Amino acid sequence: MESAESPLLSQINLIVREMDASIAFYRRLGLDIRRASAPDWAPHHAEAVLPGGVRLEIDTVAGARRWNPGGRPTPGGGNLLFFRVRSRRAVDDLFASLTGAGYRAQKEPEDGFWGARYAILEDPDGNPVGIMSPVDPALRRPPPPAPPTG
């Protein structure tokens, strides 16, 4: 029996309300965002190729309906994108830059129990976007208890 090849994540499509505001946020985050070159597509689509080759594709609701007419695109959903930065200090610096530019914070920078420093902000559509340092195994500790539900 021939073994199946594992699927490889190749792109993430993010649905947004306001393309210009989203491009500004992701550029401030440090991504090289490029608009589509076709004039009728440029207002609706932009993209960045991330290290490792994964593509971040940004589409307006109207743009997403062109390639997925049966979909229900909803900007600001609950999915979370995390971007690794070079150091713990870089988490704090980038967080300060983004919040200083008016972007909303969901989670102030802190040292996570798994050994990385991280913070979570919102892009202009309310999509949560995390920034995280590399893991330092020496800083790992047991996870906190789960918060109460209800």
CA distances from 60 to 56, 74, 103, 121 (A): 13, 10, 20, 20
The one-letter code for the residue type at 103 is: Y
Is the per-residue pLDDT at 116 higher than 90? Answer: yes
Mean pLDDT estimate for the chain: 90
Q: H-helix or E-strand containing 107?
A: strand 105-111
Write down the pLDDT at residue 79. Answer: 76
pLDDT for 9-42, tens place per residue? 889 999 999 999 999 999 999 999 999 988 888 8
pLDDT band, residue 78 (cuts 50/70/90): low
Q: What are φ and ψ of residue 130, in 5° steps? A: -100, 150
Query: In the chain, what are the domains?
Result: 9-75 (3.10.180.10), 78-144 (3.10.180.10)
Instruction: Tell me the pLDDT tens digit for each residue of 83-106.
Output: 999 999 999 999 999 999 999 999
How would you label 90-129 residue by residue, b for 16+ Cβ within 10 Å and e otherwise? bbbebbeebeeeebeeeeebeebeeebbbbbbbbbbebbb
